[in-house]
């Protein structure tokens, strides 16, 4: 260390002054036992210290390994330490600088220097090269100079803005170079501002309320930051931004939207229509209108968003659903096969039936329910399949789609027919297997 020092013997006695270099002795009282930490600090910079351990009354080796650590004054950056080692008669040593770097070999007696790559407090451990249990330690804090002033920032109301919504920010003690400012309201970072000290102003948008945290960060060392707070004064309540979206009367297809907006900050807005079309920037504000025709591939509800270019936190939305594009109508396919059974008037024995199937024109197979072979039917609701039962009874007639066997319809018939007018046949149903 450069200059005079103070010595704390670790036993509760007052600190003593000591020279920059030399030897100082201290006698511990008889009641003082156990290991003590002796701390030597610079009088000019109390944060620059080194420590050693000593146990009063304990057994002391005949030839202890001794180590002290002081500043190497040849380093103008004050990051270099000089460790003095005394291992007389025991040979070379290994020196661990305590910062994760590889240990180095040291002399039996002499000095070893090391420049730390970063600031901090480190414990230097020196051990006998042949007996690792034989060691000595010293502590050092780098850099050896005074504590570096931390960056500061302060914000107050800008006197030139009577609304009280403009912050005047100042900062100091940053590294040389430049800083950037985050104003806390979602606006873009302000970069390339002067350092180590400087100032800037920022007007908050009408929708910004409450305390804002402002962060100043060095652009050369991101670990150097400072914060300040600013609360914009509440102003007149701005008109709430609104957006409407309706079908444009000029387009009979119903696929063009007419958008209107009001209540935005003066300047311009950007409009997006919810599809993949480009955003329409630079539209007039606080109010304006715009139309947009959706492509044929756009279906369903679309969300239209209008955002202030002056304050991106101010936005409003509306929805619009383009009418479907006209396409040829396809005939609806029945959900099930319909079956109609009637008496064959040509059969005097009244055992014959006429079966009509309606399957949207798709062919079906008709099973008469008496173990006879099914017959084909056009399924168009007009073709009749005739069948004569061999015996009286009640039968279930089942009609099945020839391409989709899960699609069926059925009805019951009792033969021979009575003389009464036949009752309407039951409707078909779809069976799922």
User: Based on the number of CB atoms within 10 Å of its own CB, is 228 exposed (0-12), middle (13-18) or buried (19 or more)?
Assistant: buried
Q: Which two tokens stand for residue 204?
A: 């908050």
Average pLDDT on 189-198 reads: 96
Q: What is the pLDDT of residue 408?
A: 94
Strands 16-18 and 36-42 turn out to be unpaired
Q: How many residues does the chain have?
A: 433
Per the CB < 8 A criterion, the answer to whether 62 and 45 are in contact is: no
pLDDT greater than 60 at residue 428 = no
Residue 388 and residue 7: Cα distance in Å, rounded? 125
What is the distance, to the nearest Å, from the Cα of residue 14 to the centroid of all Cα atoms in its chain? 56
pLDDT greater than 70 at residue 29 = yes
Residue 51 and residue 33: Cα distance in Å, rounded? 18
Torsion on CA atoms 187, 193, 199, 205, rounded to nearest 10:
-10
For residue 166, give the 3-state DSSP assignment: strand
Q: Which residue has the higher pLDDT, 338 or 234?
A: 338
Helices (H) and strands (E) in the chain, counts: 0, 32
Question: DSSP character for 59?
Answer: -
Other beta carbons less than 10 A from residue 233's beta carbon: 12
Residues of 278-293 as b/e, b for ≥16 C-beta within 10 angstroms?
A: eeeeebebbebebebe
Confidence of residue 33 (pLDDT cuts 50, 70, 90): low
- Residues 276-334 have pLDDT tens digits of 899 999 999 999 999 999 999 999 999 999 999 999 999 999 999 999 987 655 556 66
pLDDT greater than 50 at residue 25 = yes
Residue 120, phi-psi category: left (phi > 0), alpha (psi -120 to 50), beta (remainder)? left
Q: What is the pLDDT of residue 427?
A: 47
Q: What is the pLDDT of residue 59?
A: 44
Confidence of residue 429 (pLDDT cuts 50, 70, 90): very low
Per the CB < 8 A criterion, the answer to whether 140 and 47 are in contact is: no
Confidence of residue 3 (pLDDT cuts 50, 70, 90): confident
- Model confidence, pTM: 0.29
User: Based on the number of CB atoms within 10 Å of its own CB, is 251 exposed (0-12), middle (13-18) or buried (19 or more)?
Assistant: middle
Q: What is the pLDDT of residue 31?
A: 56
Confidence of residue 385 (pLDDT cuts 50, 70, 90): very high
């Amino acid at each position: 260390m450069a200059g005079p020092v103070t010595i704390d013997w670790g036993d509760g006695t007052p600190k003593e002054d000591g020279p920059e270099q030399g030897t100082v002795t201290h006698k511990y009282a008889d009641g003082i036992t156990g290991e003590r930490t002796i701390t030597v600090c610079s009088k000019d910079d109390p944060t620059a210290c080194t420590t050693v351990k000593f146990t009063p009354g304990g057994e002391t080796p005949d030839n202890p390994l001794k180590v002290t650590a002081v500043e190497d004054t040849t380093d103008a950056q004050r990051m270099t330490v000089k460790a003095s080692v005394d291992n007389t008669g025991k040979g070379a040593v290994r020196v661990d600088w305590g910062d994760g770097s590889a240990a180095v070999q040291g002399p039996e007696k002499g000095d070893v220097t090391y420049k730390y790559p970063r600031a901090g407090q480190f414990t230097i451990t020196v051990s006998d090269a042949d007996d690792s249990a034989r060691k000595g330690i010293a502590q050092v804090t780098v850099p050896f100079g005074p504590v570096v002033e931390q960056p500061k920032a302060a914000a107050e109301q800008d006197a030139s803005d009577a609304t009280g919504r403009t912050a005047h920010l100042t900062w100091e003690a940053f590294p040389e170079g430049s800083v950037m400012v985050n104003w806390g309201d979602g606006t873009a970072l302000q970069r390339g501002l002067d350092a180590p000290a400087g100032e800037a102003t920022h007007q908050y948008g009408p929708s910004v309320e409450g305390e804002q945290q402002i962060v100043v960060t060095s652009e050369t060392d991101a670990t150097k930051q400072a914060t300040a707070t600013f609360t914009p004064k509440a102003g007149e309540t701005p008109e709430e931004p609104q957006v409407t979206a309706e079908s444009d009367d000029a387009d009979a297809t119903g696929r063009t939207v007419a958008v209107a907006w009001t209540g935005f900050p003066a300047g311009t807005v950007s409009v997006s229509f919810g599809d993949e079309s480009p955003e329409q920037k630079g539209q007039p504000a606080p109010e304006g209108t715009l139309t947009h025709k959706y492509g044929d591939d756009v279906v369903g509800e679309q969300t239209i968003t209008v955002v202030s270019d002056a304050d991106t936190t101010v936005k409003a939305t509306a929805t619009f659903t383009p009418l479907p594009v006209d396409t040829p109508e396809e005939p609806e396919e029945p959900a099930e096969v319909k079956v109609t059974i009637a008496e064959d008037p040509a059969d005097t024995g009244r055992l014959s039936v006429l079966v009509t199937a309606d399957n949207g024109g798709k062919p079906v197979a008709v099973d008469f329910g008496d173990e006879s072979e099914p017959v084909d039917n056009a399924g168009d609701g007009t073709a009749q399949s005739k069948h004569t039962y061999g015996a009286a009874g009640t039968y279930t007639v089942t009609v099945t789609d020839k391409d989709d066997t899960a699609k069926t319809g059925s009805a019951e018939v009792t033969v021979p027919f009575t003389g009464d007018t036949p009752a309407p046949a039951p409707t078909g149903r779809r069976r799922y297997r």
